[in-house]
Amino acid sequence: MRKELLILFLLLPIACQKETISVCDSEKKLRDVADFRVGTTFDQFRGSLYLYGEVVGEHFNRISSENALKMDRTVLSYSEFDFFPYASLSREGKFNKLQAIHIHPVIWHKQVPKWLPDLPADSLESFLKNYCTKFREYLGYTDLLVVDGIDVVNEALNEDGSMRQSFWYQAMGKDFLTLAYKEFSKLDPAIKLFYNDYNLESNPVKLDAALDLCDWLREQGVRVDGIGMQMHITIHEPSISDMAAAVQKIIDRGYMIHFSELDISLNPYGKYDTATPELLNKQAERYYEVFRLYQEIPKDLQYGITVWGLADPYSWIPDTYARFDAPLILGESFEPKPAYCSCLNALEK
Ligand code: G3I
């Protein structure tokens, strides 16, 4: 039954939004129209939910910790950790009507203290055990926001499907994953545990490797509930049929799906210095496709969609690639863009 659902979607002509609009004047809010969680991120370095929380709570019902819970923020020394950003995000989120938080990430090879990769293997393993235990314990510290789920491990694979030669892997092999998922498996099963990575929507070899890795973890007796498809895509690629095929594969293997870091670059080649109406409408069509695709996922496997940034000025892309871009659904002044309307249209189908 499940297979037919998505293939049917592939066959259907995707009735994108035909009229071209320059602004989205709908009074409707994404969080009220979606029947799954719609989330965003907020980088506390760039501001505070105290300042912008009202906007977040107006459109979204979940927050993901973009940078606040990465080890370069939480690890003070070998055995001292500060998870307070979780509590402050939860408090500010609750104050601004959010319902849930998604924890991103526990283990990543980037944004770690400079001294961490140089630890001897046995010290690194002891550090990781202690870190995961303290992190898990801290999540019970406050019930301000529901913890929907956790990116326990982020980006452990190469594009060819082999294991990334990160300092975690070089020290412990795949045991670093087993150790982490085993610790967080102690949490309430309502808190979903994810493996999160990029290009899973466009690289079938990497997606197969991610699914095999998660199956292997389950065979080790630990809990992995879902796959985070980051969905950092552009107005040009990948095709909706490639993305639908990837989603179908995950459905067939029985994993939940989180479109975990969705943004749609409208200037991937750096050709433009402003968002023309044509670019905005092409972007709107792509957001429509992605949200329609997500709608086709069986409800029990839907975890939600997270756009990776509250509004265009807070996207990671312009700083990272030193180019103009406007990849999100809220614009410079938090105004809903055409893409916002197309997400609403997709959800109301
Ligand atoms: O906190 C420092 C601040 O003290 C300093 O003054 C400032 C200027 O140098 O930098 C601040 O740190 C920046 C940090 O974001 C917080 O804003 C780092 O330079 C910057 O590199 C970092 O970028 C983040 C990036 O991950 C790091 O790789 C982006 O905000 C964040 O959106 C991005 O998110 C990742 C996901 O975690 C995993 N998937 C890919 C995604 C995009 O790279």
The string of pLDDT tens digits covering residues 27-86 is: 999 999 999 999 999 777 766 677 788 999 999 999 999 999 999 999 999 999 999 888
CA distance 269 to 317: 12
Find the 157 Cα to ligand 1 centroid distance in Å: 20
CA distance 61 to 39: 6
Q: 244 forms bridges with which residues in the sheet?
A: none
CA proximity to 51, closest of 307, 317, 334, 305: 334
Query: What is the band of 15 on the pLDDT scale with cuts at 50, 70, 90?
Result: very low
The per-residue pLDDT of the chain, averaged, comes to 92
| Rounded to 5°, angle at Cα 140 from 138 and 144 | 105
- Looking at the predicted structure, is the pLDDT value of residue 231 above 80? yes
CA distance 194 to 103: 10
Find the 67 Cα to ligand 1 centroid distance in Å: 6
**321 Cβ closer than 6 Å to some ligand 1 atom:** no
CATH 3.20.20.80 for domain 2-347, yes or no, is yes
> How many Cβ atoms are within 10 Å of 336's Cβ, its own excluded?
22
**111 Cβ closer than 6 Å to some ligand 1 atom:** yes
CA proximity to 304, closest of 142, 139, 46, 99: 99
Mutate to test the pocket of ligand 1, among 67, 71, 231 (most ligand atoms within 8 A of CB): 67
- Looking at the predicted structure, is the pLDDT value of residue 338 above 70? yes
**Average of per-residue pLDDT across 14-21:** 53
Find the 47 Cα to ligand 1 centroid distance in Å: 13
Token pair of 114 as six digits:
């400079």
Looking from the CA of residue 46, the nearest atom of ligand 1 is 17
pTM given for the model: 0.95
Domain-wise residue ranges, the chain: 2-347
CA distance 199 to 160: 11
Distances, alpha carbon 215 to alpha carbons 118, 173, 222, 293, in Å: 30, 17, 10, 24
- In this structure, what are the phi and psi dihedrals at residue 150, rounded to the nearest 5 degrees? -140, 130
- Looking at the predicted structure, is the pLDDT value of residue 20 above 80? no
Query: What is the band of 285 on the pLDDT scale with cuts at 50, 70, 90?
Result: very high
Lowest mean pLDDT among 4-18, 70-84, 236-250, 275-289: 4-18
Find the 319 Cα to ligand 1 centroid distance in Å: 9
Lowest mean pLDDT among 76-90, 101-115, 233-247: 76-90
CB 231, CB 262: distance < 8 Å: yes
pLDDT tens readout for residues 251-283: 999 999 999 999 999 999 999 999 999 999 999
CA distance 104 to 99: 17
First to last CA, the chain: 20
Instruction: Tell the burial category of 78 from Cβ atoms under 10 Å away from its Cβ (0-12, 13-18, 19+).
Output: middle
Which residue's alpha carbon is nearest to atom 13 within ligand 1? 45
Would you state the pLDDT for residue 90? 87
**Average of per-residue pLDDT across 228-246:** 97
Chain centre distance of CA 94: 20
Which residue's alpha carbon is nearest to atom 35 within ligand 1? 66
Distances, alpha carbon 96 to alpha carbons 80, 147, 217, 324, in Å: 30, 16, 37, 30
Q: Between 208 and 141, whose confidence is greater?
A: 208
Looking from the CA of residue 309, the nearest atom of ligand 1 is 32
What single-letter DSSP state applies at residue 146? E
Find the 316 Cα to ligand 1 centroid distance in Å: 7
Find the 37 Cα to ligand 1 centroid distance in Å: 24
